[in-house]
Amino acid sequence: MTIAARPGRAVGAPLRREGPAKLTGTALYTDDLVFPGGWYGTTIRSTEPRARLVAIDLDPAFDWSRVAVVTADDIPGDNVVASIAADQPILVPVGGEIRHQAEPVALLAAADRETLREARLRVRLRTEALPPVFDPLASTVEFARYDLAKGDVDAGLASADLVVQGTYRVGHQEQLYIENNAMIAVPRAGGGVIVHGSLQCPYYVHKALKRGLRIGSEQAQVVQAETGGGFGGKEEYPSMIGLHAALLALRTQRPVRMIYDRHEDLAATTKRHPAIVTHRTGVMRDGRVVAQDIDLVLDGGAYTTLTPVVLSRATIHAGGPYDIPNVRIRGRAVMTNTPPNGAFRGFGAPQSEFAAETQLNRVAEAIGMSPLDVRRRNVYRLGGITPTQQVLRGGVAGEEVLERAAEASEFDRVRVRTAESRGRRSPRDRTARGIGLALAWHGAGFTGSGEAKMGSVVSVELSGDGVVRILTASTEMGQGTKTIFPQLVAAELGLPIEAVEMAPQDTALVPDSGPTVASRTAMVVGGMTIQAARRLREAVEGRTGRPFATSYRDDAADHGATRIDQAFEPYPGVGFDDATYTGDAYPAFGWAAAVAEVEVDLDTFEVAVRSIVAVDDVGRVIHPVLCEGQVEGGTLQAVGYATIEEIKLLDGRYLNDRLQTYLIPTALDAPRIETILVESPFAGVPHGAKGVGELPMDVGAPAVVAAIHDATGAWIHDLPATPERIMAALVGIDPPGPPGISTVSPRRAADGDTER
């Protein structure tokens, strides 16, 4: 069938490679995999925020012969989920400390779910309660700290015409992939295990299995099943689940399925970090911001996980995309007795950029300047210097995305109209309209020296039977890896895309291309894939003297297989000094602007986000449809973050642990999203791409909050901007508690042993 693509859109772009399988229900996600003789596994979890584990009691009246039980004593290797630090246990050992609600303590498996359900009820944890810490500002345990400085912030503030101060708080956000976490472990014939699962990073799980099970690289095999969304939520927790499934599989010598239901997934797996950000901004009457003094605290939850890296990104992005002469940013991440927080699209930047953008809007209001003009005045331009002393040498598109967004949304014109209607408002009016603008930058790829240390490899091979195949650990989770990589290689080799295969994401087959995170897949791994294809082309053309496309089959027949292993080569002129935390924090930055229009119900303070114009500079668009899809999806996640997505906690436990209570936007909540893609390429990679996944997540929330202000006159400092918070700001009624911080039940408070 021919495709009637609209002009300027998908003309010539290939269809999603695994699309037909997904559309016909034949794509196999983890829970769709059948392993005959497999058992079902489950996790016994803590029900306290902090306690000493005294004993795990198994009811002697129950027939335990039908059930496999695994505790920390059964772990052959280190009782550690391998990550940045070695603090998080696979299972809390007896005598050890439970640090959060829903922490894994023991594992059970049985042949059927009925037995497993009964067995769960016959396990009792004996504990001695310890005093928990819930308020990050009261925590004395620091996971990481970064201090950035540029110029002299005290002098800058002293010289300013005006100093504006503000504190912003954001709570947890759940990734809410529609497919819950799921892993199945199968004992391997030659020892060790094969773990099939829903995951972003096969080699993270691989590393965790090796350490926790004390097995070799060959014995730990990780295979990605079709993955129903990740958004960061399947970056690290699959290591935990993979270990759990593997421990049970090794115990039972059978396949064991660990398929989380939504309740368990919400209750136990990682969320976006809550944050408290305080700004002091010095500004001149003409709109020049002369000083930013920023203090940022991230709540890491109970274990280190990826928190130091999240903090690093949050800190570097905390000032927003503005070239300010005097900057001081102090970021720290602390421990609380809540489930560990982790990766989620944006990775710290959405939190700190929400604060930065809302603060800048308040600064603009204070000096009577439009939000657009204050950004025009301060946005980074070519040659700008960041707080890590990075000189922006190319691909600087902040101004362009800003102007394009303002133009496409008719920002100035609409804003005049909303201001007029605000001036004429009467109690008769049911709703109020508002428009809001936000601008952001997002460092492309890993922060600092992360990529150089990772040592990623991608391979492109021409097999002996004449098939071109890409071997990479980069996973497909909906964002399009399996379509764009063949596209890049096909273009380099002059082949039709159908002629390029993708090897399965199986650690037994593909090299470690690093994790599928940080918007690095298209830029970094995509770039390496092109390099590998280029070397393959040169090798073949060198031998055949003819163009690759017309000679590769002959070359394979004559010469046999050729495989090019392409390791990451540091980008020329990009360097970062970890010791001083200065230099090129990112090889390039993506730039994003969003303009949101909202309608606020003046009786109920409900917010309808009507439209969003999203302008994103992605370097180079590889596939317009997939790229737009990333912007649209990220934009809606940001709208959810801004308006309805909130987790309330009681005694460190998430209360919104079902889909009836943790809400994400439906099709009726979603705004009309207009996507404009801007191309300001990164010169360090052959195709110029800078990544797209995270960019839209940074701008949506501050744009919506600015629009709510434009509609109502109320500044909302805490996310989400729920009707309850908007009402509190406008009517002067008790606001709800701060987002992200657990309340304490009366019983616990009465015990007097809660907060120290």
Residue holding tokens 């560990």?
A: 340
Is 62 among the residues that bind another protein (CB under 8 A)?
no
Is 3 among the residues that bind another protein (CB under 8 A)?
yes
Contact 544, 555 (CB under 8 A): yes
In the complex, what is the shortest distance from the CB of residue 223 to another protein, in angstroms, rounded to a whole number?
17
Q: Which is nearer to another protein, 472 or 479 (CB)?
A: 479
One of 423, 424, 668, 746 touching another protein (CB under 8 A) = 668
Is 567 among the residues that bind another protein (CB under 8 A)?
no
Is 579 among the residues that bind another protein (CB under 8 A)?
no
SS3 729: helix
Is 5 among the residues that bind another protein (CB under 8 A)?
yes
Q: DSSP assignment, residue 379? A: B
Contact 280, 315 (CB under 8 A): no
Is 724 among the residues that bind another protein (CB under 8 A)?
yes
Is 736 among the residues that bind another protein (CB under 8 A)?
yes
In the complex, what is the shortest distance from the CB of residue 179 to another protein, in angstroms, rounded to a whole number?
4
Longest dimension (CA), the chain: 84
Is 580 among the residues that bind another protein (CB under 8 A)?
no
Q: How far apart are CA 575 and CA 581, in angstroms?
A: 11
DSSP 702-729: HHHHHHHHHHHSPPP-EES--HHHHHHH
Q: DSSP assignment, residue 225? A: P
Contact 628, 606 (CB under 8 A): no
Is 117 among the residues that bind another protein (CB under 8 A)?
yes
Contact 332, 273 (CB under 8 A): no
Is 87 among the residues that bind another protein (CB under 8 A)?
no
Residue holding tokens 């306690």?
A: 51
Is 563 among the residues that bind another protein (CB under 8 A)?
no
One of 86, 141, 178, 419 touching another protein (CB under 8 A) = 178
Is 604 among the residues that bind another protein (CB under 8 A)?
yes
Compute how many other C-beta atoms are within 10 angstroms of the C-beta atom of residue 66. 13
**Interstrand relation of 275-283 and 289-301 (parallel, antiparallel or unpaired):** antiparallel
Q: Which is nearer to another protein, 433 or 537 (CB)?
A: 433
Rg of the chain taking only CA atoms, in angstroms: 26
* Residue 449: closest CA among 309, 333, 591: 309
Please count the residues of the chain: 756
One of 58, 85, 155, 262 touching another protein (CB under 8 A) = 262
Q: Taking each helix axis from N to C terminus, what angle separates 695-712 and 723-731, rounded to the nearest 10 degrees?
A: 40
In the complex, what is the shortest distance from the CB of residue 628 to another protein, in angstroms, rounded to a whole number?
7
Please, what is the Cα angle at 496 between 493 and 498, to 5 degrees? 115
Contacts 24+ apart (CB under 8 A), 656-660: 656/266, 657/263, 657/266, 657/267, 658/262, 658/263, 658/266, 659/262, 659/266
In the complex, what is the shortest distance from the CB of residue 665 to another protein, in angstroms, rounded to a whole number?
7
Contact 637, 478 (CB under 8 A): no
Is 477 among the residues that bind another protein (CB under 8 A)?
yes
Q: Which is nearer to another protein, 501 or 601 (CB)?
A: 601
Is 23 among the residues that bind another protein (CB under 8 A)?
yes
Piece in contact with another protein (CB under 8 A), picked from 126-134, 208-216, 437-445, 652-660: 652-660
Alpha-helical (H) ranges within 102-215 are 113-121, 153-159, 202-213
Is 428 among the residues that bind another protein (CB under 8 A)?
yes
Q: Which is nearer to another protein, 439 or 644 (CB)?
A: 644
Q: Which residues, 6 or more positions from 45, have their beta carbon under 8 angstroms from its beta carbon? A: 101, 102, 103, 104, 105, 267, 268
Is 10 among the residues that bind another protein (CB under 8 A)?
yes
Is 479 among the residues that bind another protein (CB under 8 A)?
yes
Q: Taking each helix axis from N to C terminus, what angle separates 526-544 and 481-493, rounded to the nearest 10 degrees?
A: 30
Is 593 among the residues that bind another protein (CB under 8 A)?
no
Piece in contact with another protein (CB under 8 A), picked from 93-101, 122-130, 549-557, 662-670: 662-670
In the complex, what is the shortest distance from the CB of residue 262 to another protein, in angstroms, rounded to a whole number?
4
Is 28 among the residues that bind another protein (CB under 8 A)?
yes
The encoded tokens of residue 359 equal 């603060």
Q: How far apart are CA 110 and CA 90, in angstroms?
A: 20
In the complex, what is the shortest distance from the CB of residue 416 to another protein, in angstroms, rounded to a whole number?
27
Q: Which residues, 6 or more positions from 219, have their beta carbon under 8 angstroms from its beta carbon? A: 188, 190, 191, 192, 193, 213
One of 132, 448, 633, 684 touching another protein (CB under 8 A) = 633
Is 501 among the residues that bind another protein (CB under 8 A)?
no
Q: DSSP assignment, residue 32? A: G
Q: Which is nearer to another protein, 482 or 687 (CB)?
A: 482
Number of residues forming the site for another protein (CB under 8 A): 87
Is 263 among the residues that bind another protein (CB under 8 A)?
yes
In the complex, what is the shortest distance from the CB of residue 644 to another protein, in angstroms, rounded to a whole number?
6
One of 341, 359, 637, 754 touching another protein (CB under 8 A) = 637
The encoded tokens of residue 100 equal 């959060």
Q: Which is nearer to another protein, 282 or 480 (CB)?
A: 480
Q: Which is nearer to another protein, 368 or 732 (CB)?
A: 732
Q: DSSP assignment, residue 216? A: -
One of 190, 733, 747, 752 touching another protein (CB under 8 A) = 733
In the complex, what is the shortest distance from the CB of residue 639 to another protein, in angstroms, rounded to a whole number?
8
**Interstrand relation of 289-301 and 326-335 (parallel, antiparallel or unpaired):** parallel
Is 136 among the residues that bind another protein (CB under 8 A)?
no
Is 475 among the residues that bind another protein (CB under 8 A)?
no
Contact 517, 232 (CB under 8 A): yes
In the complex, what is the shortest distance from the CB of residue 29 to another protein, in angstroms, rounded to a whole number?
7
One of 8, 12, 25, 542 touching another protein (CB under 8 A) = 25
Sign of CA dihedral 215, 221, 227, 232: positive
In the complex, what is the shortest distance from the CB of residue 610 to another protein, in angstroms, rounded to a whole number?
12
In the complex, what is the shortest distance from the CB of residue 666 to another protein, in angstroms, rounded to a whole number?
4
One of 209, 243, 318, 626 touching another protein (CB under 8 A) = 626
In the complex, what is the shortest distance from the CB of residue 33 to another protein, in angstroms, rounded to a whole number?
9
Is 257 among the residues that bind another protein (CB under 8 A)?
no
The encoded tokens of residue 452 equal 């150089």
In the complex, what is the shortest distance from the CB of residue 244 to another protein, in angstroms, rounded to a whole number?
20
Near another protein in 226-245, by CB under 8 A: 226-231
* Residue 240: closest CA among 271, 200, 269: 269
Is 312 among the residues that bind another protein (CB under 8 A)?
no
Q: Which residues, 6 or more positions from 430, have their beta carbon under 8 angstroms from its beta carbon? A: 601, 602, 603
One of 1, 61, 137, 189 touching another protein (CB under 8 A) = 1
The encoded tokens of residue 574 equal 């990009």
Piece in contact with another protein (CB under 8 A), picked from 71-79, 151-159, 382-390, 659-667: 659-667
Alpha-helical (H) ranges within 3-86 are 19-24
Q: Which is nearer to another protein, 511 or 515 (CB)?
A: 515
One of 11, 26, 214, 253 touching another protein (CB under 8 A) = 26
